[in-house]
Structure formats: C-alpha cells, structure tokens
Amino acid sequence: MQYKIIGESLPVVICDVDAGETLITEKGAMSWMSANMQMETSATGGIGKAFGRMFSGDSMFQNRYTAQGGSGEIAFASSFPGSIRAYEIAPGKEIIVQKSAFLASEENVELSVFFRKKIGAGLFGGEGFIMQKLAGSGTAFIEIDGSSHEYELAAGERIIVDTGYIAAMDATCSMDIQSVKGAKNMLLGGEGIFNTVVTGPGKVVLQTMPINAVADTLRPYFPTSA
C-alpha cells in the first residue's frame, strides 16, 4: 500500500492498494474509492471482540475494502478538524489511543479494547476508563483533534496532562490520575479536579483541540430546551 495525507485542518488519507489488498475501518470514514473496491461488513474477531470495540467507542462491525481485479484507490477523511497520523504497528510497537481515534488500517492490524489497570484513572481521569489498543502488524491511521505535539518520555519520567489532551501513547507508557493540589486551586482554578499523569518510557502524543473541550466552549451558546 502507498498513501498520502492531504488537507490542512480537514485532512484525508488517500490509499493506493494492490489487487487483493484489504483495508479496514470501523465507522463511516470512507470518502471515495475506485469502482473496483469491494466492501464487506463483518464482526471481525467474533462477538467478544465486537462488543469490546463497541465499548471503546467504535462500531461492533468492521468495513473491509478489497481491491478486485487490479489495483485500487480509497480515501478516508477525518471526522473533526485536526490531523491524520500514520503509525507502523508491529509486535513490540503497539500503541494506545483515545477512543474513536482509529480511522483505518491494513487488515493485519488488530483493534481491541484497552482497560486501565487502576479504576481511579478510568472513573476520574477524564480520558475515559476504556481506550483502544492497536496491535498486530501493518499501517494504521488515527485522527488527532487539532494539531499535535509529542514527547519522548524516559523511564520514570512523567508528564501531567489536562482532560482530553492525550491522543496516543506507546503501550510501554502507563497512565494514572492525580487530584489538583489545594482546595482553592481545585474549586476556583477552572482546570477541573483531576489531571492525567503519563509515565514513561515511551512516546506520548498530545492534541491541541480535544472535542470535549470544544463542546464545553460552545455549550453556553446553545439554546436550552424549555
């Protein structure tokens, strides 16, 4: 597969695939494709993995697009202003991403639900108790809300992140939550009660415009129902 990512704030990834090659997606991300791309919808991995994908924010079913009779082209567009990143997934190079970040991938990439080991992180950390894990092998494309910035954390090195700003991290990183120190800071600071703490080793990718922050900003301008 060859691909190119075009567009600025509303990007799309255009993939050129060989005959018989298959790409998968778990939501209506397909934007356009050549006439020889055949679509098949299935609950890949069985009902257990299908329910796991549903809990992580994606569909129970996967759409599989295969080039028939020759090479083909298919494009997948981002659903929110931001960027698209390509990751090469391999054994030992798994990544954890925010729920609903997965856009599309080659067919040997496995998407599964990822539960945090510490319940507190899930209940209060703001990123959600359930995230997504990408394993297997192949190229995967994920959506970033807004622009992105990454840090390479050494073993034991930590970074404190506000709610929703974590887009992805290496599976070697760990995540927990901590409360904001000081009652006045907690109640009057406007930053919420908890922060997410990511600990290395590994890479963490942060995003500048998480959709939940955008929703909170716009909420006062929406009319309330009677």
pLDDT the model gives residue 189: 43
Instruction: Give phi and psi for 188, each to the nearest 5.
Output: -115, -10
98 closest CA partner among 85, 77, 199: 85
pLDDT the model gives residue 211: 82
| CB contact at 8 A, 176 and 194 | no
- Any domain includes 223: no
pLDDT the model gives residue 193: 63
Tell me: cis bond preceding 11? Omega within 30 of 0 counts.
no
pLDDT the model gives residue 180: 64
pLDDT the model gives residue 213: 79
- Any domain includes 121: yes
Instruction: Give phi and psi for 201, each to the nearest 5.
Output: -90, 150
Total domain count for the chain?
Answer: 1
pLDDT the model gives residue 86: 96
Which residue range(s) make up the domain with 159? 2-218
- Cα separation, 19 vs 108, whole angstroms: 16
The torsion angle over the Cα atoms of residues 2, 203, 190 and 184, rounded to 10 degrees, is 170
The CATH number of whichever domain residue 184 belongs to comes to 3.60.160.10
Residues of the chain short of pLDDT 70, as ranges, are 43-60, 115-129, 179-193, 225-226
- Any domain includes 195: yes
Decide: pTM greater than 0.85: no
pLDDT the model gives residue 126: 47
pLDDT the model gives residue 17: 97
